[in-house]
A and B are shown apart, each in its own frame.
Chain A
Amino acid sequence: MSILEIRNVTKRFGSLVAVRDVSLTVAQGELRAIIGPNGAGKTTFFNLISGFFPPTMGAIFFGGRDITRLPAHQRVALGMARTFQITEIFPELTVFENVRIGVEVTAGYGMRPYIGQVGTAKVRGRVEDTLKLVGLEAKADRLVSELAHGDQRVVEIAMALSLEPRLLLLDEPTAGMGDQETHQITQLVRRLHRDKNCTIVLIEHDMRVVFHLADRITVLDQGMLLAEGDPRQIAANDAVQAAYLGKTA
C-alpha cells in the first residue's frame, strides 16, 4: 500500500522550472532516498511534499487523501514531519523545550492555556521517550545553541519525531558532518525505520549513506525524474552514472 503518491508534479518559479512533471510512489514502511546533483530540484520537491508551497501543476496524495492544497501545519496533523537542510531549531530554548512544543501540539494541547499535572506528566514522559530514542536524554537541559552541530541535527530529528509521524522527511540529515557523526545519524535513521515502523524519505549527498540505507532510490536531474530503482539498479544505471555518479568521481 502506498503512503505517498505524487502525480505529475511541476513547480515553476517565474521562467525557471524547478521540478518538471515528476511522479513517485512511496510504499508504507519504505525507506526511500532521493539523490541528484546540486540544483536537481530535490529540496523544492521536498517543499512540495511538505506544503511549503503548492505545486504549479499535478497532485499529491498522502494516505490516499489529496493534500495538494493543504497548508503545512495540517499535513503535520495528518502525520507528516520534516527536517530542513539548514538546521531549523529554537536556539534559545533547551533540548527538552525544543522537543516539548511538538509533543504538546501533537497531543492536542497547542491551544490550551492550562494542562494541569496529568497533562504535564504525560507531555514530560513523551518528551523523555523521544530523547531516549535519539540518545539525547543526557543533554535534555542544555541550550541547543550550545550543542555541537551533529547534536543539533539530532535535536531536529527528535523534534520531527515528537510529531509521531507516519512519514518522516529528512533533508540531508548528514550535511556538514564528520565521519563519526555521519555514522551515528545513519544508525539512528536505520533504527527509526526498523523500530518505529515509520516510512522515511531522505535527501542525501553522501553515497555511502544512501546505498547503505535505502530500499529504493529516486534520482532527479534538472528537475526531472532520471531513474528509480533499488540501490543495485541505480548503481548500474548508465544515465545516472553520466549525470551524477560520474561527475563526483
Chain B
Amino acid sequence: MSGRKGLRGDVRALLTLVVIWTVLLLAPYWMPPLGGYTALGTRVLVLALAAMSVNFLLGFTGVLSFGHAAYFGLGAYGAGLALKFVTLSTSLSILAGMVLAGIAGALLGALIVRRRGVYFAMGTIAFGQVFYYIAFQWSSLTGGDDGLRGFSRQPLDFGLFTIDILSDANAFYYFVLFFFALVVGVMALILRSPFGRTMLAIRENERRARFLGIAVERHIWIAFTLSCFFIGAAGALYALTNNFADPRGLHYSQSGDFVMMAVMGGMRTFWGPLLGAAVFVVLQDYLSSVTVNWMSFVGLLFVLVVLFFPRGLLGFVRHRGKHEHS
C-alpha cells in the first residue's frame, strides 16, 4: 500500500519499525525496573509469533482458523520429541517442530479450503481437537495428560564459543527474538510480494479475485500451510521456553486465545497481534497472582476493545493517525 501513503507514510512506517525493534531489543533492560522479568518478555514474543501466524490467515487472507493451537502444539511436541529422541541441537528441534506443523497443516488444509466462514472455522476446530485427543491419549509417546517431559533446550555451540540459553534468561530471550525476527521477516516479505497481494485480493473480494484468474482455493491452501509453518515455530519456541509440551496447548481454547490476541491488537495491522499478545500475557501474569478468575478480566477487556475499538488497539491508533494527517 505504498503509493498512496507517500513519503510521510513511509517515514511513519519506518519509525514504527524502529520503535518496535528498539523496544524488543532492549526488553531485558527496561522490563526489570518496571517490575517485569525477562521470561515474561520471552512469553510475549512466543505468543505474539503465534498470534501473528493466525493473523497472517485471518487478517490478510480473511480466513478464520479456530484450530491453530493444533499446529502450535504440533510444533511444541515436534521440537520436544526431536530433542528427546533425535538431536541435541536446539535449532534443529525448532525446524522439526515447524516441519511437523507445516506438513499436518498442508494435509488437513487441503481437506477444508473449499469451506468458507463458519464451516471453515468448524473444520479447523474439529481437526484441532483430533490432535488434542491424540496427544492426550498416546501416553507412551506424548506423556498424555502430564505432558511431554524429559527434554531441555541445549546450549548453543558455535565451535569457538557457546551461548548458555538454558540458564541465562537474557541469552534465551535473544535466542527467541532471533527466531521471532526470522519468521516475522519472512511473513512481511510474503505479504509485500505478488503472492501476498493475491491473499489481500481474496480477503477483499473473493469473487473478483477468482475472475482475475486467481486459483482461490490453492492460494488459501498455501496461505494456510504457511501460517501452520509459522505457528509451528512459535510452538517449538514455547516448548523450549518451558522445557515441556502440554496437551492443553493443542486445545481449541488455546486457538481462541490466539484469535483474541489478534483481534484485540488489530487484525488488519501487521504488528497488532504483538500488542494484543503483550496485553494478554502481562494481564495474565499480573491478574493470576491476584485472582484465579483472571480470565474474566481479560475477557471483559476483550469485550470492551471489540465494542469501542473494533479495529483493535493498534488499528485504532493507526486509523486516527491517518485522519489527522490527511
Contact = CB atoms under 8 A, between A and B. Distances in A.
Given A97-B1, A113-B189, A88 B211 contact: yes
Nearest to B201: A101
B197 A76 contact: no
Given A73-B213, A110-B194, A110-B198, A140 B3 contact: yes
A84 B209 CA distance: 13
A142 B201 CA distance: 17
Contacts, number: 97
A50 B213 CA distance: 11
A90 B3 contact: no
A84 B222 CA distance: 28
B4 interface: yes
Given A93-B200, A113-B189, A113-B195, A88 B205 contact: yes
Contact of A91 (B4, B6, B189, B204): B204
Contacts of B208: 84, 88-90, 159
B4 A141 contact: yes
A112 B195 contact: yes
Task: Give the contact-size bracket for chain A.
Answer: 35 or more
| Secondary structure dominating the interface of B | helix
B194 A115 contact: yes
A105 B213 contact: yes
Contacts of B216: 73
B212 to A, nearest CB: 5
A140 B4 CA distance: 9
Nearest to B213: A76
A62 interface: no
Contact of B212 (A93, A141, A163): A163
B215 interface: yes
A105 B215 CA distance: 10
Interface in A209-249: none
Given A89-B205, A93-B200, A111-B195, A73 B1 contact: no
Given A105-B213, A111-B195, A90 B201 contact: yes
Interface of A: 50, 71-73, 76-77, 81-82, 84, 88-94, 96-97, 100-102, 104-106, 109-115, 123, 140-143, 159, 162-163
18 contacts: A72-B210, A73-B210, A76-B212, A76-B213, A84-B208, A88-B205, A88-B208, A90-B205, A101-B209, A102-B213, A110-B213, A112-B193, A113-B189, A113-B190, A113-B193, A113-B196, A114-B193, A159-B212
